[in-house]
Structure 1
Amino acid sequence: MNAATLASRLLTERPRPRGIADWRHAHWLAVATVCLGAFLGQLDASVIALVFPAIGRDFDAGFAAVEWVALAYLLVLVALLAPIGWLSDRVGRKTMYIGGFAVFGLSSLGAGFAGGLWALVGCRAVQAVGAAMMQANSVALVARGVPERAMRRALGIQASAQGLGLALGPSLGGLLVEHASWRWVFWVNVPIAVFGIVAGWYLLPRTRTCASDAPAAPAAVPGPRLAGAGRSEARLSEARHSEARLSEARLDGPREDARFDLPGMLLLTGATTALLLALSTASGLPLPGWAVAALLLASTALTLALVRQERRAARPILAPGLINTSGVRSGLVVALIGYLLLFCPLVLGPVLLTGAGVSTAHAGLVVTLLPAAFAFAATVGGGLLPRAWSDVTRCRLGALLAAAGLLLFAVLPASVAAAPPLLIAGYGLGLLLPANNALVMRAIPAQCSAVGGGMVNMARSLGTALGMALSVLGVHLAGAESGGRTVLLILAAVAAAAALLTRPARA
């Protein structure tokens, strides 16, 4: 078998077994597979900070150097989300998602065996490539793989898997570091990744066909379904379950070749790298003031150049036409705000609680209420609301609840009244983010869904970075108590602004 044949086989998406594809609830198996990747990514994001001290002791490195273990991951992830989304719309989202599990698992294995700090940083950068391959396609796989009536619920389940990963990360990381080694924080990813590869192969529907799979006479085929021997998944699903068509019935088909937007990717990478390096000074990266100013100026200049490049590119990575679609631009901003609101309290909560005399273990349990309420609202909590309420209404209600919870957390004594505000804020965010993601994905054409999903995840990653940086900056400038409460007040105002930014998509 030559290299070309091997590559063709690897890049050709295989259909699911007929028994699975024919089951009327098969789309929930696909959602569960996507949730596995969402859980793994957020578990890794929330657990890594706990191992910094152990890594520093093991490699005799200071905090500023160890911070690159997280910074390298974040820089690569943000830079690659949109390009990989572009590529996934051409190669196939199922192929890229399964490949993401493979890259993530292998790099996690390497990170656990790293013999030096910079080898670990390199493995984390490769790990971010795998994470980008999963995250750029997760929202698209859910949005295009379930019936329209189930989209909000499916996106809510995916968001709850992220919340579960966030909630379990700190406790799992503490147990592994205390009773085993920091290396197990990475090795624990390997069996999950292997399971994800197998589940993706059998449970995810095809999202693209190659040229040889295309119908010989397109005009005679009444709909965008696969041709073949008459037993394709799309045809079976359409014949037996027309109400719950799966994504095989929405296949994009063969695409014309297009040159990759390399200038756009380089400008995007430069702009996000400069911005995140500048923001990282808030968490201890030792850079002089002039360097921070230069990085912010460079980020601004590169962003302006990126906008100009994307407007004239034949196949732009960021697709200005999508961003300018009614409801998409505001939805991306709200997605960024939502994760800013989610991650800031996760960082500030332990600081405020331990400063008020609460034990570290108890503080961790209290802060876990935020992602727990987030997961509850994203899955079943939204069902407590009237079914007639639109996603716009749910977004606005969720944003206002988050604003109320953060405001209460800022003004009430942390030692005795932290739990109810965190529950309210988490529940509000669990209503806001799934409904907002559904609004964005409905406004994006199916053939661009991976690019759209990549942009949503890029907004999420930037919101995460901003949340961490803003939290640490406030504490550094004004102290744990005063600075933390000031940041929470700012967040409450930002949450209220998100309610005003939510817009319905218009054709």
Structure 2
Amino acid sequence: MTPRRSGSRWPVALTRERARPEGIRSRPDAWWLAVGTVCFGAFMGQLDASIVTLTYGSLGTEFHTSLAAVEWVSLAYLLTLVALLVPAGRLADAHGRKLLYLYGFAVFTLASAACGLAPSLPALVVFRVVQAAGAALMQANSVALVTTSAPRERMRTALGVQAAAQALGLALGPTVGGALVSTLGWRWVFGVNVPIGLVALVAGHYLLPRTRTRTPVAAFDWAGLGLLAVATTGALLGVSAVSGLPVPAWGVGLLFAVAAGAGWAFVARQGRSPAPPLLDLALLRVRAVAFGLVGALSGYLVLFGPLVLVPVVLTARGSSELTAGLVLTALPAGFALAATGGDPLLPHSLTDRGRCVLGAVLFTAAVAALAVVPPAVSWLVPVLMVTGMGLGTFTPANNTLIMGAIPARASGTGGGLVNMARGLGTALGVALVTLALHLSDSRVQAAGSRWSALILVGASVVALVSAWLGPRRAEQGPVRTR
């Protein structure tokens, strides 16, 4: 009887969240420990996003293939991640955010090890898809875990710390990636995730709170998941094709048409399906959520656009890739500085909406300067620093308004929506700037740079308008978990 009873506990252990030890749960800084644990995932996600592109040359040489084929190492990851964020959040709302976050870390870590051992490019792409599935479970729950762990009055600070961890990963990616590729080889770009992932799994088991408020799911909406995947994949492939992916014009039109049709069918199904919807459309009718998601997408477009634009501008003027990388660190450095140090410096009476407007004004003015100032290091460093500071002021307040308007029982879905907006903004930032540079003649590179800067200005204005039209304050705070 004893062995059978002991064995029966394994399924329970694998499907239920365990409470934190009482000594940790009762600490007044327990919420900081939870936020710090989530920062592991935030750091790894952006480190991975900014580090993998440095392996393209080595991958092409080792596997004897073209750059277009190698690009699928990043594209397959992005397509899978964006498609799974909302479904992962919905599952987490039903089964536990801590549980699925830890499973995401486990999958991401194992898949990272497999990527480092990949025997061929197709195998690497498959492992990257699995890695993205793990990343979706992590990212869909990261914002939710932060907002349900931190006290209501400290939510913006907690989200700022998480955003700073992302900025740190983004800043270190080119430096760490370049060092690893040039010394140990491309396989260690993926291998570096393994020790961090193991530490994060142990920390998450003991430091993350259980989910107290859930939204049960009687039957999962697989048809809705398929429609959402088709819509996001079609849209992202279409954007990538427009920016230089070798696809004929009729193919680009077909991709956008399929994306639009699948998106319409997804929305229609969510409103009429007898099964529990994958996405509660009522969330998108909340003013803070609707305007906030537009702002989040626009902000990440502005964040990632310069990562493409600045290296092209500087190397075209004779600067080295190392110089370009060092100049780019001013952007995430400014982001991290404002996200973590902004609260003590800004007036306590300034609302989240006011912080969004202030941040949007800052980065709108900064990216407008990119269109007029000389593309020299002495000008670019302060401009990128101010851009990062504006985004670091805007992003935590924007996320606070969104998550504050979403009930605790749906915080996983809300976190998935926030990260989907970030992913789409990232893809658009890279694609639209690449398109502007691609369409400009090499002899008039300055024209392409100016058009790229104007695209960023347009996105900044959209973020500013969305902040101005948003609500005066967060409408509802999620209930804290233990």
**TM-score when scaled to structure 2?**
0.94
Give the match's secondary structure for 1:414: coil
Q: How does 1:209-224 map to 2 (within 5 A)?
A: none
Relative distance call for 1:506 and 1:142 in structure 2 (3 A) is closer
Aligned to 1:304: 264
Aligned partner (choices 123, 148, 159) of residue 119 of structure 1: 123
Deviation at 1:383, TM superposition (A): 2.6
Deviation at 1:493, TM superposition (A): 2.7
Deviation at 1:356, TM superposition (A): 2.3
Aligned to 2:480: none
Give the Cα separation in 2 of the matches to 1:56 and 1:101.
29
Aligned partner (choices 354, 360, 375) of residue 393 of structure 1: 354
Give the Cα separation in 2 of the matches to 1:420 and 1:112.
38
Instruction: Say if 2:231 and 2:262, in contact at 8 Å, map to a contact too.
Output: yes
Q: How does 1:58-207 map to 2 (within 5 A)?
A: 58-207=62-211
Aligned partner (choices 260, 265, 277) of residue 225 of structure 2: 265
Structure 1: runs of 5 or more not aligned = 208-250
Deviates more, 1:495-504 or 1:111-120: 495-504
Give the Cα separation in 2 of the matches to 1:82 and 1:358.
42
Confirm or deny that 1:485 pairs with 2:450: yes
Confirm or deny that 1:435 pairs with 2:405: no
Deviation at 1:352, TM superposition (A): 1.0
Q: How does 1:356-505 map to 2 (within 5 A)?
A: 356-415=317-376, 416-479=378-441, 480-502=445-467, 503-504=470-471, 505=474
Confirm or deny that 1:335 pairs with 2:296: yes
Instruction: Say if 1:326 and 1:506, in contact at 8 Å, map to a contact too.
Output: no
Give the match's secondary structure for 2:33: helix
Confirm or deny that 1:6 pairs with 2:47: no
Give the Cα separation in 2 of the matches to 1:64 and 1:469.
15
| Percent of residue pairs identical | 52
Paired AA for residue 452 in structure 2? V
Instruction: Say if 2:46 and 2:166, in contact at 8 Å, map to a contact too.
Output: yes
Deviation at 1:287, TM superposition (A): 1.0
Aligned to 2:34: 30
Give the Cα separation in 2 of the matches to 1:335 and 1:306.
22
Paired AA for residue 454 in structure 2? L
Aligned partner (choices 238, 243, 251) of residue 291 of structure 1: 251
Give the Cα separation in 2 of the matches to 1:3 and 1:40.
35
Relative distance call for 1:60 and 1:15 in structure 2 (3 A) is same
Confirm or deny that 1:21 pairs with 2:25: yes
Instruction: Say if 1:76 and 1:129, in contact at 8 Å, map to a contact too.
Output: yes
Give the Cα separation in 2 of the matches to 1:108 and 1:486.
37
Paired AA for residue 221 in structure 2? D
Aligned partner (choices 34, 43, 52) of residue 39 of structure 1: 43
Give the Cα separation in 1 of the matches to 2:24 and 2:475.
36
Give the Cα separation in 2 of the matches to 1:42 and 1:72.
16
Instruction: Say if 1:437 and 1:456, in contact at 8 Å, map to a contact too.
Output: yes
Paired AA for residue 305 in structure 2? C
Instruction: Say if 1:64 and 1:284, in contact at 8 Å, map to a contact too.
Output: no
Deviation at 1:410, TM superposition (A): 2.0
Deviation at 1:414, TM superposition (A): 1.2
Give the match's secondary structure for 1:380: helix
Deviates more, 1:37-46 or 1:7-16: 7-16
Structure 1 ranges of 4+ moved more than 6 A: none
**Residues matched between the structures, number:** 463
Paired AA for residue 377 in structure 1? A
Deviations, residues 192-232 of structure 1 (Å, cap 9, x unaligned):
0000100000110111xxxxxxxxxxxxxxxxxxxxxxxxx
Give the match's secondary structure for 2:429: helix
Give the Cα separation in 1 of the matches to 2:357 and 2:59.
42
Deviation at 1:4, TM superposition (A): 6.6
Give the Cα separation in 2 of the matches to 1:97 and 1:317.
18
Deviation at 1:283, TM superposition (A): 4.8
Deviation at 1:370, TM superposition (A): 0.2
Deviations, residues 57-87 of structure 1 (Å, cap 9, x unaligned):
1000101111110011011101100001000
